[in-house]
Amino acid sequence: MINHEIFFKGLKSNLGVRSPTISLAACFVALGALLKDAGFNLQQSAASSIFTYALPGQLVMAESLLIGTSLINIFIAVWLVNFRLYPMTVSLFPLLAHKSQPRWKYLLSCHFLAVSSWLVAKESYEKVEQKYRIDFWIGVGVGTWSTAIISTVIGYLLADYLNKDIMIGLAIVNPVYFFCMMIGAMKNISISISVIGGTILGPVIYLYSTEWAILYAGIIAGSFAFLFGEKNGK
């Protein structure tokens, strides 16, 4: 069973000053309004956040449906967009593993993986005993997941009162928050190189390749930072 005390500790961690919950909510409010404009009903919009829970993937799904893309192509596109979650899984779940915990907890909690929940867990997991970290993570994930669902419904209901500029403003809150968190995480030379390098390379590559700028900037800066860290033992 889940340790309720640790679970609620994880749930409450979404309320801290450094928590991404507010920025996450803002983005999903914008998503809810966008889904309504795209022709989705309330149930479909809520189901999108319940079963997908990945903002970029949900946007790809909505846009693909609008232009009449086949289901197999939508599946592949969403899968490719959400592949970014794989490195987060590899880096997080070994920190949560404990032989006394049943496998179903890990399988269930994979659904809660997102940049927002990953940030909360990575910042707080060391404060939790190894045995109960998976319960803490489930609390974190349920908090962010519930926020996304509720915010999607709110955005759908408020769609008629949100103009395009407001929706763009809400949607950009989360990326700004993540960027600020990355700056705050610059505690060694490798991380600093990856953040600064990606920030510089992104706009430069954008001038030559609009569609691939973010991917190329991340790969180049991240690879260079990794190699530098390996060479210098950091």
Percent of the chain with pLDDT over 90: 27
Locate tokens 């962010």: which residue?
A: 144
Tell which wins on pLDDT, 168 or 3: 3
pTM to 2 decimals? 0.80
* Cα 131 to Cα 100: distance, rounded to the nearest angstrom: 7
Q: Each residue of 81-102: pLDDT tens digit?
A: 888 888 888 888 999 989 999 9
pLDDT at position 227 is 86
Both ends of the chain: CA-CA distance in Å? 39
Query: How does DSSP assign 107-157, residue by residue?
Result: HHHGGG--HHHHHHHHHHGGGS-GGGHHHHHHHHHHHHHHHHHHHHHHHHH
pLDDT band at 233 (very low <50, low <70, confident <90, very high): low
197-216 tens-digit pLDDT? 999 999 999 999 888 888 89
Average pLDDT, integer, range 189-201: 87
Residue 88: strand, helix, or coil:
helix
Residues 134-153 have pLDDT tens digits of 999 999 999 999 999 999 99
